[in-house]
Chain A
Amino acid sequence: MSKKAVPTAEPKDESNVACASQSSSAPINAKLLKEEKIELHRKMVRIRRFEERSLRAYQAKKIGGFLHLYIGQEAVAVGCCSLMGKDDHVITAYRDHGHAMAVGMDTKALMAELYGKITGCSKGKGGSMHYFAPSLNYWGGHGIVGGQIPLGTGLAYALKYKKLKGAAMAFMGDGAVNQGAVHEAYNLAALWNLPVIFVIENNGYSMGTSQERSSAGPGLAKRAEAYGMNWGTCFGHDVYEVRATMDKFLTLAREKHQPAVVEIDTYRYRGHSVADPDKTYRTREEIEEYRRTKDPIQLFQKKLLDEGVLTEALIEQIDTEAKAEAELAADFAEASPFPTPDDIQKDVYWETDNPDKRTSKGRLFFE
């Protein structure tokens, strides 16, 4: 059983903030140039092809540890991150590949990180769950459920302290909403009017436990009411709707320092991680129903075809290029060297990485 056993109708938008129209006619979408729309589509396709390629690499035992795939959820990260201005920041949990690509990280460095190579975005020190790109305002990639939410609140605190007109988007899954740290962060954000949007990517299952088996109350975002915060929900399979909803809350955060909780309805086609056999908690039919009726790439592709933005030939070209990019990333990762044991103790302390600027004495490492 999931949050809803089989999808029947699109959930209506629910929110305590007056809604803009959540469609292609919403101002934030109406002003999109043709190339920008194509780019939204391209990013979703690139994420999916990257994830599929990383799955094959995992199955070929090129990748260690866990691999949490973003397949099915692409419209969420792409829609949200497409709204980022220069002072907007993002932090997320361990299903972090989609956000990393959405903010513009290089797929070669991402794949190399999965392979544990020195050319990876974290030099092979973080792995799948720990992608970072501070130069792109992307602060991870965090492994402990809900643990990144106070950090995202801190990003918002820093923005406000520095009087920058930006907002932080702190992403979490539906399984994170019952962690104490999340509620502590909600309270601080509301208490101090911090420009942070807490984005719940509700894919229905916290690992193998459905929402109805894990979370009390009428809705995940609605809990914001207890803190006097704005909240909203959103059909997350449509990138236009994600943008329309998030734009509204981001504007309130940037302009008025109003935090919010936004619950975005989405779905993952793969197991919680690749290690999840995905046979015990949901049916094949449910997954197929989502793929058939709510696939974010298919839905957006159809819209852009109807708008005359995409053509079949262009769709084919984008897909071919995305597959080639993923393949190139895998080739790059394969050909890259591993870190050496000498690298293990680098990047631990700022001071030991900058020995000419070190002020402390004494031993920082022990045997």
Chain B
Amino acid sequence: MAVLTYREAIRAALAEELARDENVVLMGEEVAQFHGAYKVSEGLLEKFGPDRIVDTPISEAGFIGMGVGASMLGIRPVMELMFWSFYSVAFDQILNNAANVRYMSGGLINCPIVIRGPANGGTNVGATHSHTPENVLANHPGVKVIVPATARDAKGLLKSAIRDNDPCFFLENTILYGDKGEVPDTEEVIPLGVADVKRQGTDLTIVTYGRCVLHSLAAADILEKEHDVSVEVVDLRTIRPLDIDTVLASVKKTHRVLIVEEQKPFASVGSQLAYMIQREAFDELDGPIHRLATIDAPAIYSPPVEVEQLPNPQRVLKAALAALA
């Protein structure tokens, strides 16, 4: 196993898929000469040249739509959004065109596009740059939504997304880009829609994804050491398709559930999960499903307070104890 940062793992996935399929192109703001706003694409221009690694103007509706059109003709564009927060200016292209074109054409047209970039709060950039739109995206049938928490998952899932024939939206995290993790030396393609039990436990299931997986694991350690509680942490990895079976299997083991998500609570990913768990495992539950989400307001700037607005290990700990009470 090699130890790579989350950033390097994504870069490795891009490089491998660019080398594997000449129809793969990487496009976005600052991806080429600048080496990526977050340095994800560093070195790729030098390796693959300007036809494959393409700097775009600041023009998300234009270049995302262009990628959708190119994908209809067989290109496999990987479009980088500097922040997923900027999806709002390309909303029509992403969710009217990419998500609907297969359906409206009666299945005649495919749209094998990947749109990727960071989607997270916690970096003190205020409400406009801190959106986590996985719930909004996943609300649209026709699309796939992936939120990796670790370097290994980021690499293996991105490779799957690039090979997928449906539009895939890949949500990274600026705070995780520097996190190191083990990544297999041999090629690993992780299928979409398979959750990963990141920690085994018997008393409480935490269902989570993205950076909240790390918060949940940290809280689980404290719960074990200080409260003698055994927590199972289920990392969804993919929001749509959704591996609900792994979640339900864990619920059947622990009988208590806490959902942790960096989401505004209203109509969040957790809302959908809670509905499905109560619908499909009602008799397994020993108590109500609990949820810890982002505190329901636009993202606050103030650095120490933003930490408290988002899920963090202490908030997870508190929520877990409430769920166990």
Q: A115 contacts the other chain (Cβ, under 8 Å)?
A: no
Type the 1/0 row for A325-354, where 1 means its CB is closer than 8 Å to any CB of B: 000000000000000000001111111010
A121 within 8 A of B: yes
| Chain B contact residue count (CB 8 A cutoff) | 56
| Chain A nearest Cβ from B79, distance in angstroms | 11
> Which of B39-47, B65-73, B211-219, B295-303 is the interface stretch?
B65-73
Q: Does B142 contact A (CB under 8 A)?
A: yes
| Interface contact B107-A347, CB-CB below 8 Å | yes
Once the chains bind, are B66 and A154 in contact (CB under 8 Å)? Answer: yes
Q: What's the minimum C-beta distance from A115 to chain B, rounded to whole angstroms? A: 14
Residue positions of B touching A, CB distance < 8 A: 25, 51, 56-57, 59, 61-75, 92-93, 96-97, 101-110, 141-142, 144, 160, 163-166, 191-195, 238, 240-245, 272, 276
- Which residues does chain B contribute within 8 Å of A122, judged by CB atoms? 104-106, 108
- How many Å lie between the Cα of A38 and that of B154 in the bound state? 59
Known contacts A125-B104, A347-B102; A361/B66 CB under 8 A: no
A296 on the B face (CB < 8 A): no
Contact B62 A181 (CB under 8 A): yes
Could you name 24 residue pairs across A and B whose Cβ atoms are closer than 8 Å? A122-B104, A123-B107, A124-B106, A125-B105, A125-B106, A126-B106, A132-B109, A134-B105, A139-B69, A144-B92, A147-B65, A147-B96, A150-B62, A150-B63, A158-B75, A162-B75, A188-B56, A188-B59, A345-B141, A350-B102, A360-B191, A361-B241, A362-B242, A363-B244
Find chain A residues with CB under 8 A from B62 CB.
150, 153, 181, 184-185, 187-188
User: Complex formed: what's the CA distance from A155 to B272 in Å?
Assistant: 37
> Does the CB pair B243–A349 fall under 8 Å?
no
- CB contacts (< 8 Å) of B72 on chain A: these are 134, 139, 151, 154-155, 158
- Do B25 and A161 have beta carbons less than 8 Å apart? yes
User: Does B107 lie within 8 Å of A188, measured CB to CB?
Assistant: no
Determine the chain A residues whose CB is within 8 A of the CB of B104 once the complex forms.
122, 125-126, 130, 132, 140-141
A8 CB-CB contact with B under 8 Å: no
Q: Which residue of A lies closest to B66 (CB)?
A: A154
A269 to B298, CA, bound (A): 50
Cβ 8 A contact of B241, one of A140, A181, A362:
A362
Interface residues of A in 91-139 (CB under 8 A from B): 91, 120-126, 130, 132-135, 139
Please report the C-alpha to C-alpha distance between residue A123 and residue B93 in the assembled complex, in whole angstroms.
Answer: 23
Q: Is the CB of A360 within 8 A of B64?
A: no
Q: How many residues of A contact B (CB 8 A)?
A: 57
List residues of A (184-239) whose CB comes within 8 Å of B's CBs.
Answer: 184-185, 187-188, 191
B240-A121 in contact (CB<8A): no
Contact of A360 with B241 at beta-carbon distance under 8 Å, contacts A139-B109, A159-B73 already known: yes
Contact of A150 among B65, B75, B103, B141 (CB under 8 A): B65
Q: A123-B106, A150-B93, A154-B66 are in contact. Are A360 and B193 (CB under 8 A)?
A: yes
Residues in A148-190 with C-beta less than 8 Å from chain B: 148-155, 157-159, 161-162, 180-181, 184-185, 187-188
Instruction: Indicate which residue in A133, A161, A346, A363 contacts B108 across the interface (CB closer than 8 Å).
Output: A133
Write the chain B residue with the least CB distance to A349. B166
Check A359/B142 contact, CB under 8 A, given A130-B105, A154-B68, A158-B75: no
Q: Within the assembled complex, what's the spacing in Å between the Cα atoms of A180 and B104?
A: 24
Q: Does A275 contact B (CB under 8 A)?
A: no
Partner of A144 from B66, B96, B191 at Cβ < 8 Å: B96
